[in-house]
Structure 1
Amino acid sequence: MQVAELVGRAVAALGAGRAFGVVGSGNFAVTNALRAAGVPFTAARHEGGAATMADAWARTSGRVGVLTLHQGCGLTNAVTGVAEAAKSRTPLLVLAADTAGSAVRSNFRIDQDALVRSVGAVPERVHSPASAVPDVLRAWRTARDTRRTVVLNLPLDVQAAPAPEDALAQLRDPGPPVPARPGEAAVEALAARVAAARRPLLLAGRGARGAGPLLRELAERTGALLATTAVAKGLFEGDPFDLGISGGFASPLAAELITGADLVVAWGASLTAWTTRHGRLLGEDAVVVQVDADVDALGANRPVDLGVLGDVAATARALLAGLPQGAPPRGGSTGYRSPELAARIAAEGRWTRVPTEDSSTPTTIDPRGLSREVDARLPRERVVAVDSGNFMGYPSAYWSVPDERGFCFTQAFQSVGLGLATLVGAALAAPDRLPVLGTGDGGLLMAAAELETLVRLRLGAVVVVYDDAAYGAEVHHFGPDADHGAVVFPDTDIAAWARGAGAAAATVRSTADLGALDAWLAGPREGPIVLDCKISSDGGAWWLAEAFRGH
């Protein structure tokens, strides 16, 4: 057995659930070793797509994603997807071939460690046959236990070397660490803030995924309202006091109530400018508390009045244990929670309930009306992916999801073109749900190669293209007096192109054209459908003005 096979077998033994990649000579052996060990492998058409597929699969499944790459250009092609995963703290293990130490003139030779480090990922290396298993274990545990994207470089000469006999016997994984409990003083300080609040809000981020029931109970006990960051959308779905996404995607009522909170407790949320609308969404006198298992996250994006170091679920349990039984404290009895407010949230708390003017024309459809109609037609059990662009607020805010596993938001790097790959990864991680993508024409065409992947895998997915024949964010950001010649394009028959790739497709210019979606939903859904929705101008989406305030 060579080291390449040993690495693949070790990664499989550690619990890899699926791998993604584009196979070249450098990662051929390790990829086949993964496959031989029973790890399903999904071949993408571009390494950038493969990286985002692995990222989305990890986010949706809650497991470590695995990506395999050729040396040099294979890694550089994947860098945008690796950067997105790293900035999102996705647990991802990248098995990247590297040139041999002696191959100093190889065309593939680059400083892979420096490249990986520059985008926020962790560089690791298999140093020798004798250290291969410990090297793999170290990289795996860093990815899993610290939620980092780790690139494990595999030099070709080490890959080809004979593996020590019984090398896999060295593999001793102690398993994930016990979640960190907060200190008693910190819990007491948090409890005091909660007891003093009259209008508390619990704001959950990615770090709170899995702790939804605990936070719902805590909100009920304390009289608090609930909200999430974009990446945690769906965590409180169905709760009558859930305001949905905080930040630029927030509805007018949600923004009003969040701003009125006198206590905001951020649970596993980093309080970015997007979540707080550059700080303006939080009331001037609001007490801000942040709970996070990562000490570096506390107060990193804005000052907080109290930082609590601890796992979200462990901290919520400790706080619940210390609260008095019976009626909620002052905040719950006189503050936000009331039957009247629950009725108001039900009536106007979601964008689907907010009246808007219909901007449709004889040849285009209003993007808000389109979003409402698509949401109403799709089954509830869905997993939604969103590309980046002017349109992105519509699927993010208008489309509901059943829970936090139903929304995959690869936007930490704000790269256009990750949508199709996100859809593939999320779909494979949630095979029991209908995969749905909201994308722009720019993002779709940038990632066009991965439509073939969707078709080849026979994924019954819905791709909704908000087609304005432009990079709409730039059109609206720079205004009507700017020269838009570099960001506006001739109309493209995306439906014809999609049919050529083997997908079902339709052009949508009015609600009546959505009959094609209804027919596809009726079955058998043996492949994707692409809806080329020719949208009318929205004059710049509401969230866009907020997003660009910090630029």
Structure 2
Amino acid sequence: MRHGGEILANALAAHGVGRVFSVPGESFLAALDGLYEIGIPNTVCRQEGGAAMMAEAWGKLTGQPGVLFVTRGPGVSNACAGLHVAMQDSTPMIAFVGQISRGHRDREAFQEVDYRSVFGSFVKWVAEVDQTERLPEYINRAFHMAMSGRPGPVVLALPEDMLSALSDAPDLAPTAPAIAGVSDAQVSALAGMIAAAERPLIVAGGPGWSEQAAADLKDFAESWGLPVAVTFRRQGHMDNRSPAYAGDLAVGMNPQLGARLQSADLLVLLGTRFGDIPTGGYELIDPAAPGVAIAHIHPSPDEIGRVYRTDLAIPARAADVLAALVRLTPPPRDLEWQATARAEYETWQQPKETPGAVKLEQVIGWLSANLPDDAVLTNGAGNYAAFLHRYFRFKHYGTQLAPTSGSMGYGFPAAIAASLASPGSCVVCLAGDGCFQMTLNEMSTAVQHGATPIVVVVNNGRYGTIRMHQENHYPGRVSGTDLVNPDFAALARAYGGHGETVVATADFPVAFARARDSGKPAVIELQVDPDTLSTGQSLSGTRAAALARLGR
């Protein structure tokens, strides 16, 4: 006889779970006891939002579900941001949530939540386990749901009395993975479409990739003379140094790449859902009249044809399709289409100078040129992130951890997870002053568990992206976008980490070297000009242009 917490922990071990992330709660004490008994490491976090983002990042890094434990009511409410990231980013993740005792339900008891109602449209699957003996069954299904088709997050609610009850339920071996295969006929049809097209463009994105898949994409695109664009924050899907790489279809994308997307006569959508971000709010490619042939490869048949009609639908993993394509003999092709796309990317990468003594474009350029090829870069959301997307060249799969959902606060928890996954490796988080302050309390989590990421904080004293839009729409009427910030370097030292402040671009390389040598979680604060924008303009210039348009 075992209590439910032990049954749960043994099921996690059977599924290969090597680490969980949590904020402890009295509602799942039995689960904590089970983790203790089985010896699964538990990364104890400071707030459920940070814990959820660490679990999501772990899912991205490993390809296996990141596992989260949070308590009921306020705990799971705090975790919603990370669950939303997992859903929009198609990341496998399982959140185990404490629940009130079964006999108290439907009385609005202390911290009671109807999880099926709250999360029914928020995650991939949500359920509540009412019988201790059925825990192995539910956990098997949770892992299957998180990984099958389009991966995503699952929520399992665990009533407190169910979890502490005893049962002689046997363990279950994990369910065999359900992986859609690809046929020779499908590969032949796709190859024929590409060979016949004059202006084909590969658009790569989505989950389920690997180092081998990234290498196959590079080899296939180069040998077939095809340009490759990646979707928002999926730049690690292909070596950016390849002559076939054309850039990212992201927020603030290269206008020439957007025009190339519009002028293509064939789009090969590899693994991506292909939504509003890569299409500029559906304006570059109109779902009502796409005007281009589309071949869509996605592991979930439900995603194919969901927004755009397709001429060829292949419900399979992009990695498996690429493994078949790369073995084919390429047809002769004029390389001008690919070469011009690459030239436009190279031009776009030329730094556009920003005001102030700290030039963020130069800092990112230095990082791109000097970090190890396998260094992991993380970020959340903000105007600063556009510098990273534009000027950094990702060399390997798995080196970019960023939320396609655009969630602020993500970069630092993700960097902690990456550092724990690969101790001693180089992990750099780029964060804005507003973005970092949403989860900087996880600095003590990093110190406690031995994570050593380096956080580069871009401090401009404002919510930069929102200020940029504000100046465009309501010039000169500043409201709600100014920030009063702490001394970030001193704060890092107070937590037991390493802190640096940089006020001139030339000082950054030495500061970074000291941070790396410290062997501690580190913060390098960049004091940038408040008017710095990712476009290379200043806010004052943006304001002047907006006023001129308004005739003021």
Instruction: Report TM bin, short chain.
Output: 0.7 to 0.9
Residue type matched to 1:217 in 2?
D
Q: Determine if contact 1:2/1:159 at 8 Å carries over to the other structure.
A: yes
Distance 2:341 2:461 in 1: 42
Are 2:381 and 1:357 aligned? no
Give the aligned partner of residue 477 of structure 2.
483
Give the aligned partner of residue 287 of structure 1.
293
Give the aligned partner of residue 368 of structure 1.
361
Are 2:85 and 1:84 aligned? yes
Q: Determine if contact 1:503/1:530 at 8 Å carries over to the other structure.
A: no
Q: Secondary structure at the match of 1:298?
A: coil
Q: Secondary structure at the match of 1:416?
A: coil
Once the two structures are superposed, residues 464-521 of structure 1 have per-residue CA deviations (whole angstroms, 9 ceiling, x without a partner) of 1111111111111021625323211235422222222222112222113315424325
Give the aligned partner of residue 517 of structure 1.
511
Give the aligned partner of residue 28 of structure 1.
29
Q: Secondary structure at the match of 2:21?
A: strand
Q: Determine if contact 2:69/2:97 at 8 Å carries over to the other structure.
A: yes
Q: Secondary structure at the match of 2:69?
A: strand
- Cα drift, residue 341 of structure 1: 7.2
Distance 2:530 2:364 in 1: 13
Give the aligned partner of residue 546 of structure 2.
none
The farther-off stretch of 42-51 and 474-483 is 474-483
Residue type matched to 1:446 in 2?
M
Give the aligned partner of residue 55 of structure 2.
54
Q: Determine if contact 1:95/1:154 at 8 Å carries over to the other structure.
A: yes
Distance 1:533 1:293 in 2: 44
Mark the CA change 1:334 to 1:517 in structure 2 (over 3 Å): closer, same or farther. closer
Distance 1:519 1:244 in 2: 29
Q: Secondary structure at the match of 1:523?
A: helix
5 Å matches for 1:379-528?
379-412=372-405, 414-431=406-423, 433-479=425-471, 481-520=475-514, 523-528=517-522
Distance 2:278 2:359 in 1: 26
Alignment match of 2:322 (pick from 290, 306, 316)? 316
Alignment match of 1:148 (pick from 152, 158, 183)? 152
- Cα drift, residue 292 of structure 1: 0.9
Q: Secondary structure at the match of 1:300?
A: coil
Structure 2 regions of 5+ residues with no counterpart?
543-552
Are 2:126 and 1:99 aligned? no
5 Å matches for 1:220-369?
220-237=222-239, 238-248=241-251, 250-251=253-254, 254-255=257-258, 257-281=260-284, 285-319=291-325, 323=328, 325=329, 328-330=330-332, 332-333=333-334, 335-337=336-338, 344=343, 349=346, 351=348, 353-360=349-356, 364-369=357-362
Distance 2:366 2:217 in 1: 32
- Cα drift, residue 213 of structure 1: 2.9
Give the aligned partner of residue 549 of structure 1.
none
Q: Determine if contact 2:21/2:67 at 8 Å carries over to the other structure.
A: yes
Distance 1:528 1:201 in 2: 41
Q: Determine if contact 1:365/1:536 at 8 Å carries over to the other structure.
A: no
Once the two structures are superposed, residues 266-315 of structure 1 have per-residue CA deviations (whole angstroms, 9 ceiling, x without a partner) of 10011122122234556975422211121121133334443322222333
Q: Secondary structure at the match of 2:167?
A: coil
Once the two structures are superposed, residues 229-274 of structure 1 have per-residue CA deviations (whole angstroms, 9 ceiling, x without a partner) of 2342122214222123223354456445544433220100111221
Q: Determine if contact 1:72/1:109 at 8 Å carries over to the other structure.
A: yes
Distance 2:382 2:516 in 1: 30
Give the aligned partner of residue 74 of structure 1.
75
Once the two structures are superposed, residues 363-398 of structure 1 have per-residue CA deviations (whole angstroms, 9 ceiling, x without a partner) of x52332332234334333311111111221112232
Distance 1:503 1:299 in 2: 49
Distance 2:484 2:160 in 1: 46
Once the two structures are superposed, residues 432-458 of structure 1 have per-residue CA deviations (whole angstroms, 9 ceiling, x without a partner) of 531111111111112221122223233
Residue type matched to 2:235 in 1?
K
Give the aligned partner of residue 214 of structure 2.
212
- Cα drift, residue 31 of structure 1: 2.5
The farther-off stretch of 122-131 and 93-102 is 122-131
Aligned residues, how many? 527
Q: Secondary structure at the match of 1:274?
A: coil
Q: Determine if contact 2:225/2:244 at 8 Å carries over to the other structure.
A: no
- Cα drift, residue 21 of structure 1: 0.5
Q: Determine if contact 2:199/2:264 at 8 Å carries over to the other structure.
A: yes
- Cα drift, residue 67 of structure 1: 0.5
Q: Determine if contact 1:18/1:41 at 8 Å carries over to the other structure.
A: yes
Residue type matched to 1:297 in 2?
E
Give the aligned partner of residue 124 of structure 1.
127
- Cα drift, residue 54 of structure 1: 0.2
Distance 2:531 2:24 in 1: 42
Mark the CA change 1:199 to 1:114 in structure 2 (over 3 Å): closer, same or farther. same
Distance 2:424 2:513 in 1: 20
- Cα drift, residue 49 of structure 1: 0.7
Residue type matched to 2:462 in 1?
A
Distance 1:483 1:162 in 2: 63
- Cα drift, residue 121 of structure 1: 3.7
The farther-off stretch of 466-475 and 532-541 is 532-541
Mark the CA change 1:150 to 1:199 in structure 2 (over 3 Å): closer, same or farther. same
Distance 1:308 1:157 in 2: 46
Identity of aligned residues (%): 27
Q: Secondary structure at the match of 1:296?
A: coil
Q: Determine if contact 1:19/1:68 at 8 Å carries over to the other structure.
A: yes
Scaled by the length of structure 1, the TM-score of the pair is 0.88
The farther-off stretch of 463-472 and 250-259 is 250-259
Give the aligned partner of residue 4 of structure 1.
5
Alignment match of 2:165 (pick from 161, 166, 169)? 161
Distance 1:542 1:139 in 2: 46
Q: Determine if contact 1:385/1:409 at 8 Å carries over to the other structure.
A: yes
The farther-off stretch of 120-129 and 3-12 is 120-129
Q: Determine if contact 1:47/1:78 at 8 Å carries over to the other structure.
A: yes
Give the aligned partner of residue 545 of structure 2.
none
Mark the CA change 1:446 to 1:502 in structure 2 (over 3 Å): closer, same or farther. same
The farther-off stretch of 527-536 and 220-229 is 527-536
Mark the CA change 1:13 to 1:246 in structure 2 (over 3 Å): closer, same or farther. same
Structure 1 regions of 5+ residues with no counterpart?
546-551
Q: Secondary structure at the match of 2:82?
A: helix
Q: Secondary structure at the match of 1:158?
A: helix
Mark the CA change 1:159 to 1:350 in structure 2 (over 3 Å): closer, same or farther. farther
Mark the CA change 1:534 to 1:499 in structure 2 (over 3 Å): closer, same or farther. farther
Give the aligned partner of residue 547 of structure 2.
none
Residue type matched to 2:455 in 1?
V
Q: Determine if contact 2:73/2:111 at 8 Å carries over to the other structure.
A: yes
Scaled by the length of structure 2, the TM-score of the pair is 0.87
Residue type matched to 1:420 in 2?
F
